[in-house]
Amino acid sequence: IIKLGVSVFPYSGKNQPPKFGDYEAQRHWMEITVNLPIQDWYRNTTDNDLLYWGLDYPPLTAYQSYLTGSVAKKINQDYV
């Protein structure tokens, strides 16, 4: 019943390019944490536009993105 109820509504970011939803946000956060210095994770810079899926969760979540992104990068650098 829950699965059916959730599938009725559109996902976050549907039809809103280039932000195509939560999956894109997670992928982008892995990209940020793996490729930028820690001090730039939450700063608006030329390499980190906070208006485009900027990190907006607490640091523990950012470190989780970093760990996941590090594993993804070892598998295939194009992932992040």
pLDDT in tens, 16-57: 776 677 778 888 899 999 999 999 999 999 999 988 888 888
Question: What is the C-alpha to C-alpha distance for residues 32 and 50, in angstroms, rounded to an integer?
Answer: 11
Residue 5 lies in a domain: no
Say yes or no to pLDDT of 6 above 90. no
For 1-80, where are the E strands, in sequence order?
none
Residue 47 lies in a domain: yes
Cβ distance 53 to 28 under 8 Å? yes
Q: How many domains does the chain have?
A: 1
Identify which of 23, 5, 27 has the alpha carbon closest to the alpha carbon of residue 14: 23
pLDDT at 11: 66
Identify which of 23, 30, 38 has the alpha carbon closest to the alpha carbon of residue 69: 30
Note down the domain range covering 58: 10-75
What's the pTM value of the predicted model, to 2 decimals? 0.74
Bridge partner list, 45: 48
Residue 21 lies in a domain: yes
Say yes or no to pLDDT of 76 above 70. yes
Residue 63 lies in a domain: yes
